[in-house]
Structure formats: structure tokens, C-alpha cells
Structure 1
Amino acid sequence: MTMLDPDPSSAIPLGLQPRHRRLTVSLSGMPAWVGGVIGVAIILVIWWIASQTLYTDSHAIPTPSAVFAHFFNSDDWTALIHNFTPTIQAAFYGFLIGDFAAIVMAVAVLLIPPIEELVNQLAIVTYCLPPVAIGPIVVIIGGQAHPQAAPIVLASLAPFFTTVVGCLIGLRAAPQASLDLVTAYGGSRMAQLRKVQVIAALPNVFAALKIAAPAAFLGAILAEFLGGGGDNSVGQALIAAQTRGDAARLWWLALCCGAVAGIGYLIVGLLARVVTPWTTAENVGGAK
């Protein structure tokens, strides 16, 4: 190899170049959605093979066609909306309550540093407490008069730790030069928080909220499994399908739960793009 020919493979005719190299180039030029379609197709093929080879006696793994047939049944959609509406409402209220409390706690730590240890311990306790253990207690406390109490409580506890940590990291990520500038112009501690630290924390807060949205929905469903939420809920629909041994309906409900959780993640992500457009610009610049 000489200075005039730094790449020996460039002298090889295109038809004689290594096949794997040409394959890599063609795959790298595909749109992102093509890769997603290929991934979904692979999952469906594996799913169909598993349904034909595993648990054939119990039919615990239904075929994809048996599951997707529920998407074209109007009665199933009516029941789905009827069951999902109270669960989504409970998850939404819990999401608001839990994340609001977490953000308030994080701001309080910044303004009153001595309470940091207390807030950290509280966040760790909410993270380590098994929802399966405290769920029945909340269901009993709520009683029949307040069936939505348990789903809202567990939905608010699920994202608390993540949001506290994300908010604290974001608030402490504010550039010191900007904080000093506010102080130099006579700004107070609250002025630093309002003009610099809140803005600096937004990307981290929204990153935590994207995780908190599916977590709140999961917490609400778990509470319904434990007896909360009343008769019409996602948890009760899952229990009913499991009791009847209706595997196709059970899998269909599971797919719908995953779709709702994904929609919650997507909504927060879109909101983050609107509120913090500079983070999107930075990502695009970094990609280049």
C-alpha cells in the first residue's frame, strides 16, 4: 500500500468486492421505518412458530390471527373502551399527583438543603415498597365507596422515585456561570431557580416523565388486579379472560395495554419537543 492508494479495496471492481460490505452499505441507507417493519415481521413469524410448536395442548400461545381478530370486532372495542377509560383516568390522576409531588420535593431540596436526606429516604422507600404488599392495604382503606383510590395511589407512587431523581439532576445541571450572572445583577435565590435552573432542568424532567407515564399506567393496572378499580377496569378484564382461559383475548388485552403505555410515552415525548425545542436541535447537531 502506498500514499497514492490508501484503500486497497478501492482498486477491486464493484462486482468483486466483499459481499458483506455491499450489504452493510445497502442496509445503512434504508429508512428507519423499514427496519421497524422488518423487526415486526420477524416477531410475528417467531410468534406464529411458537403458537404451532409450544403449549399445543393448552393453547396458551394463540396464533397472531386469533389475537388480531379481536381488533376487527366492534363488541370487543366497545368493551375495551368501557374497561380502559377508568383505568386511564386513574393512571392520569396518579401521574399528575405523583410527579407534582416529586417536582415539589426536588425544588424543596434545592431551596432547603438540610431536607435532602429526608427526601432521598422518602423516594427510596416509595421505590422499594412492593406494590403487591401495599396495594391490598390501600384497597381496604379505600373500600367500596372509593374504588378508584387504590389505582390512583399506586399510579402516583410508581413514578415518584424516577421523577425526583431526574428533577434533582436537572436542577443541579444548571451552568454555574449563569447562576453567578443572575447573582451579579442582584437576583435572589428564587430568581436563579426561575430564570436558570428550571430551564436547565426541563430536558431531564421530561426524560423522567416519559418513563413515569407508562409506570403510572402499570401501577393502576396492578391495583386493579388486587381488587381496586371497581368492576369495569383493565385489571378485571384481564382477570376475567384468565379465569375463562381465553388466551387470545388475554393476549389482545396485553397488546392494548402496551399500546396505551407507548402512547403515554409518545405524548410526553412530543410535549418535550414543544417545550424544549433546543434539545432536539442539539441532538440533530450531534448526529451530524
Structure 2
Amino acid sequence: MNSRAGGLVGVAVLLALWWLASVLLFRSSGVIPTPPAVFAKLLDGQLWASTLRNTVATVTSAAQGYLWGNLAAIALSVAVLLLPRLEALANQIAIVTYCIPLVAIGPVLVIVAGRGSSGASVALAAMSCFFTTVVGCLVGLRAAPRASVDLVRAYGGTGWTVLRKVRVVAALPSLLAALRIAAPAAFLGAILAEYLGSGGGSTLGKALIAAQAQADAPLLWYLALVSALVSGLWYLLVGLIARAVTPWAAGSTATVGAA
């Protein structure tokens, strides 16, 4: 069974379990609606229009945070490589951003940035992907073949030349893998900030709050599926870019898997 067939079987099993749970365990309460009740929301044109508007706002904030968070992570990783004395400070910064609970820092950022602003959404999205990218970038930069590094230095290359000619190429597979993982994390961070009050009234976070206040279980599940779909598409998009940019890495992975 190939991976696609296995994925389809997994989805079918999850749908069957979902349907059984909604009918057998939560039929009276209705907290878990049946799949047809949720999928019926997909046929509501007016709901689709509002969902698209909310999704665009959330994705915009998440993309900005994804950009700034990853740029900061890459810059910090390069600085550590060129100036090893900064490693202790860089590790502290990365660990702090990873360990601070987003639920705790989120309300503070919302107050600072303002409820009508998307600043908190961008900040939480950036924090959500920062640590992952720092680790992936550092691991990749340090994975450069020693022989290639020595060869460039033997011809008089500086540390900057080694970085451009050898380390960046060696780091691409690891960095792109980290960026792939960071994409759904940034989207989750943006939704969390919106749920805490950021981004104005037309966001997925606000739509979730409204559905929760109305105790509309099918709508909540519908919004959850939309959010999962957006995260999955973003993850897939970065993965496709990674395959195009580093075909040698994809080829080696496929060879290992076949062996």
C-alpha cells in the first residue's frame, strides 16, 4: 500500500469513528455533530463568503509573522555561526521564545498592540515558528562537509565565503524542513491571538468565538476543518517548494525509503 492509499484509508477510518461517536456517544447532547451536518455548511454560499474573508485576514497576519519570525531566526543562526561567542545568548533567546506560554503572553500583546490591530497576531505567529527555524537552520549550517569547508579556506576563502559557498547549500534541506513545520505553527499562533482579541472582527478567531457563544457545534467543527485545511495546504506548499529547491534531498530520502 502506497502512502496516498494509506492516507485515504486513514481519513476513512477517522470519518467512521467520528460518525460512530456522534451517533452512539453524543447523540443526545449534540456536542459532536455528524459529518453530514458539518459538511452541509460547505454548501452554504453566504457562510463560505464570510469564511473566505475571515481566512484571508488570518492568513495575512500569519504570513507576516511567518516571514518576520523566520527572518529573525535565520539571522540569529548566521550570527551564531560567524560569531560563536553569541551562541549562549542565542540559545537563551530561542529557549525563552519557546518556553513562554502563548496563552499567557497573548493577552499582553493584544493590549499593547490594540484590539483593532493585527500586531498581536503577527507577533504570536512569529514566536510560534522562531524556535523551530533556529534549530533547523543551525543544524543545517553545521552539517556542511568538513572537506568542502577546508577546501574553500585552503584557497583563501573567508568565513563569509564558506557560508555562501558551502554552508548555505548544506543547510537548505534542514532549513526547508524547519520552515515546513513552522508554517502550521504560525497559523495556529495567529488564530490564538485572534481568539484572545487581536485582529478586529473579521478573522477566523472571532468566527470561532461567535460560534462558541451560540453553541453551534456544526459551525465550530466546520471552522475547525477549514483551519486544518489551510494549515495542511500551507504545509504542503512549503513542502513542494522544498522539493523544487533541494531535489537532491528528496531523491536521497526516496532512495533511503525504498531501501
TM-score (norm 2): 0.97
Q: What is the CA–CA distance in structure 1 between the aligned matches of 2:8 and 2:142, rounded to whole Å?
A: 41
How big is the shift at 1:248? 0.3
* Deviation beyond 4 Å, 4+ runs, structure 1: none
Q: What is the CA–CA distance in structure 2 between the aligned matches of 1:207 and 1:31, rounded to whole Å?
A: 22
How big is the shift at 1:31? 4.0
How big is the shift at 1:73? 1.5
Q: What is the CA–CA distance in structure 1 between the aligned matches of 2:205 and 2:29, rounded to whole Å?
A: 23
Structure 2 residue ranges without an equivalent (≥5): none
Q: What is the CA–CA distance in structure 2 between the aligned matches of 1:229 and 1:260, rounded to whole Å?
A: 18
How big is the shift at 1:42? 1.4
How big is the shift at 1:284? 2.6
How big is the shift at 1:75? 1.1
Instruction: State yes or no: 1:53 paired with 2:24.
Output: yes
1:58-207 residue pairs with structure 2 within 5 A? 58-144=29-115, 147-207=117-177
- Greater RCO structure (CA 8 Å; 6+ sep): 2
How big is the shift at 1:107? 0.2
How big is the shift at 1:280? 1.2
Q: Secondary structure of 1:245's match?
A: coil
How big is the shift at 1:147? 1.3
Q: Secondary structure of 2:65's match?
A: helix
State the number of aligned residues.
258
How big is the shift at 1:135? 0.7
How big is the shift at 1:32? 3.3
Equivalent residue in structure 1 for 2:220, among 207, 230, 250? 250
How big is the shift at 1:157? 0.4
In the alignment, which residue of structure 2 is the partner of 1:13?
none
In the alignment, which residue of structure 2 is the partner of 1:272?
242
Q: What is the CA–CA distance in structure 2 between the aligned matches of 1:230 and 1:207, rounded to whole Å?
A: 33
Equivalent residue in structure 1 for 2:194, among 215, 220, 224? 224
Q: What is the CA–CA distance in structure 2 between the aligned matches of 1:273 and 1:105, rounded to whole Å?
A: 25
Q: What is the CA–CA distance in structure 2 between the aligned matches of 1:285 and 1:55, rounded to whole Å?
A: 46
Q: What is the CA–CA distance in structure 2 between the aligned matches of 1:45 and 1:189, rounded to whole Å?
A: 57
Q: What is the CA–CA distance in structure 2 between the aligned matches of 1:60 and 1:279, rounded to whole Å?
A: 45
Q: What is the CA–CA distance in structure 1 between the aligned matches of 2:2 and 2:64, rounded to whole Å?
A: 38
Larger radius of gyration: 1
Structure 1 residue ranges without an equivalent (≥5): 1-29
In the alignment, which residue of structure 2 is the partner of 1:233?
203
How big is the shift at 1:281? 1.5
RMSD between aligned alpha carbons? 1.0
TM-score (norm 1): 0.87
How big is the shift at 1:36? 2.2
Q: What is the CA–CA distance in structure 1 between the aligned matches of 2:12 and 2:138, rounded to whole Å?
A: 41
1:132 is aligned with what amino acid?
Answer: V
Deviations 1:177-229 (A, max 9, x none): 00000011111111000000000000000110011000000000000011101
Equivalent residue in structure 2 for 1:38, among 4, 9, 12? 9
Q: Secondary structure of 2:200's match?
A: coil
Q: What is the CA–CA distance in structure 1 between the aligned matches of 2:5 and 2:232, rounded to whole Å?
A: 20
In the alignment, which residue of structure 1 is the partner of 2:253?
283
2:119 is aligned with what amino acid?
Answer: A
